């Protein structure tokens, strides 16, 4: 392992974003040290969807086969109306794989995290736990960070991958997370517990309904079944502190179809998550400190792209480091970070904005819901207009940028809303 004071790169935060970046940079021969606040590396939550733009990065890292082994490669993604359980639209994930060159997979968060952690270990990344960064210093020849216990560490460059509540974001941008009034419950159970409900084992299923939605898919080679229930919390909306309690969960799904209601009792009821994002910002690089992952661009989760964007960031960053590396091995970090900054914010801004719009569309009620359903039913399964910009390689190669994505005009629904 590398000695701290000889690290080329310090990565703050050992989540999926931080570990992905650390692995990619170590792969370029750089000495990388990860500083993780928690006493152990790990992930909370259950399933994670990885669309082709995410599995493309895993393929580049040589980790895709293992990810597929640990996860599930579903055949379809189907959207149903949560109230009447009618089908609205679907994606044929086999065709999607042919189109974009990489599969759509689902994987347990802790499995993806463990896979990246193992890869970092093999690549010689220096991994430190109990290392909470409380301050960043950009003056002087090398940037440095101050840890909670007073230690100071420096490197040629610091990558802040410290998540939604990023200290670096606070220090350099100074904005606050934007709280939506939506709350998520998660839950993963053995597949046998849901067999009698005749759930779709080979599909990613989402039921969209008024102020709520429900996601289901099998995990871990089909042994587990993952569910996410999201709803607007009346107490969160009213600004009360005890938002999202289980009685609110039950109430939010009371008028949904039987298929949906059957899943609600299986949710973990001792922990729930408020949905936050932030306003997009165009500047992620502050001298020799760069934001990455949720620290830079936390989205609402409706497009299932947060972890993917974090993985993409690391891959792009490492490519720019490699491009700006002299024969003696030194990296022109100003140029590398400028390259990273030139490529990523525009795409991530678009994901953040579209995720918000997508969430609004999912949660419509009344006439607007009926209009949405009609439009979605008319969509051809093999029409990729809405996902080309997202699942294709454009996020990594801006010279291949697709035309600006135009979401279904929400204004027309807003006018019609009761």
Subset of 179-238 contacting ligand FAD (CB under 6 A)? 184, 228
CA within 13 Å, CB half, 51: 24
Residue 8 main-chain phi, psi, to 5 deg:
-80, -35
Under the binding rule (CB under 6 A), the answer on residue 10 touching ligand FAD is no
The first and second tokens of residue 212, run together, are 């709520």
Indicate the burial class of 46 (C-beta count within 10 angstroms; 0-12, 13-18, 19 or more): buried
> Of the residues 136, 217, 302, 391, which is catalytic?
217
Under the binding rule (CB under 6 A), the answer on residue 163 touching ligand FAD is yes
Least distance (Å) between residue 327 CB and ligand FAD: 33
154/65 Cα distance (integer angstroms): 36
Q: Which is nearer to ligand FAD, 205 or 310 (CB)?
A: 310
Least distance (Å) between residue 408 CB and ligand FAD: 21
Least distance (Å) between residue 184 CB and ligand FAD: 4
DSSP characters for 371-413? HHHHHHHHS-TT--TTTHHHHSGGGT-GGGPPSPP----HHHH
The 3-state DSSP composition of the chain as helix, strand, coil percent (nearest 5) reads 40, 25, 35
Q: Which is nearer to ligand FAD, 248 or 294 (CB)?
A: 294
Query: Which residues are within 8 A (CB) of 196 and not within 5 positions of it... i.e. 6 or more apart?
Result: none
**Using CB under 6 A, which of the segments 76-84, 300-308, 320-328, 342-350 binds ligand FAD?**
300-308
> For tokens 């490492």, what's the residue?
318
Under the binding rule (CB under 6 A), the answer on residue 133 touching ligand FAD is yes
CA within 13 Å, CB half, 110: 9
Subset of 29-68 contacting ligand FAD (CB under 6 A)? 35-38, 48-49
The residue within the footprint of ligand FAD, chosen from 306, 314, 339, 345 (CB under 6 A), is 306
Q: Strands 152-154 and 144-147: what pairing?
A: antiparallel
Least distance (Å) between residue 250 CB and ligand FAD: 19
Residue 104 a catalytic site member: no
| Beta-bridge mates of residue 162 | none
Q: How many residues bind ligand FAD (CB under 6 A)?
A: 32
Under the binding rule (CB under 6 A), the answer on residue 301 touching ligand FAD is yes
Q: Which is nearer to ligand FAD, 38 or 334 (CB)?
A: 38
Q: Given the rule CB under 6 A, which residues bind ligand FAD?
A: 12-18, 35-38, 48-49, 132-133, 161-164, 167, 184, 228, 273, 293-294, 301, 304-308, 310
Query: Could you list the active site residues?
Result: 217
């Amino acid at each position: 392992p590398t000695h701290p004071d000889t690290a080329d790169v310090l990565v703050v935060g050992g989540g999926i974003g931080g570990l992905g970046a650390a692995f990619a940079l170590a792969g370029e021969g750089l000495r990388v040290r990860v500083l993780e606040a928690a006493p152990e590396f790990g992930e909370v939550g259950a399933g994670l969807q990885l669309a082709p733009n995410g599995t493309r990065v895993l393929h580049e890292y040589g980790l895709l086969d293992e990810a597929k082994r640990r996860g599930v490669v579903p055949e379809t993604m189907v959207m149903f109306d949560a109230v009447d359980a009618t089908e609205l639209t679907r994606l044929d994930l086999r065709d999607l794989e042919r189109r974009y060159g990489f599969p759509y997979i689902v994987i347990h968060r802790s499995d993806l995290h463990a896979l990246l952690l193992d890869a970092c270990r093999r690549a010689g990344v220096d991994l430190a736990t109990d290392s909470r960064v409380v301050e960043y210093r950009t003056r002087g020849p090398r940037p440095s960070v101050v840890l909670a216990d007073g230690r100071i560490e420096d490197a040629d460059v610091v990558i802040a991958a410290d998540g939604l509540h990023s200290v670096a974001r606070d220090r350099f941008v100074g904005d606050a997370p934007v709280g939506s009034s939506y709350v998520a419950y998660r839950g993963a159970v053995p597949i046998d517990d849901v067999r009698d409900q005749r759930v779709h084992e080979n599909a990613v299923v989402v039921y969209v309904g008024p102020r709520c939605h429900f996601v289901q898919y099998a995990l871990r080679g089909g042994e587990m079944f993952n569910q996410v229930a999201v709803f607007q919390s009346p107490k969160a909306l009213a600004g009360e502190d005890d938002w999202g309690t289980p009685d609110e969960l039950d109430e939010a799904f009371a008028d949904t179809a039987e298929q949906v209601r059957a899943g609600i009792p299986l949710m973990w009821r001792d922990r729930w998550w408020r949905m936050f994002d932030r306003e997009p910002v165009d500047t992620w690089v502050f001298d020799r400190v760069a934001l990455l992952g949720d620290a830079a661009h936390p989205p609402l989760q409706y497009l299932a792209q947060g972890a993917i964007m974090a993985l993409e960031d690391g891959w792009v960053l490492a490519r720019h480091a490699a491009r700006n590396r002299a024969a003696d091995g030194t990296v022109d970090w100003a140029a590398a970070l400028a390259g990273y900054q030139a490529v990523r914010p525009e795409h991530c801004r678009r994901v953040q904005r579209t995720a918000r719009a997508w969430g609004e569309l999912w949660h419509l009620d009344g006439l607007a819901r009926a209009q949405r359903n009609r439009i979605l039913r008319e969509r051809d399964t093999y029409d990729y207009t809405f996902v080309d910009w997202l699942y294709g390689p454009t996020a990594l190669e801006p010279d291949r940028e697709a035309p600006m994505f135009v979401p279904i005009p929400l204004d027309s629904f807003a006018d019609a809303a009761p």
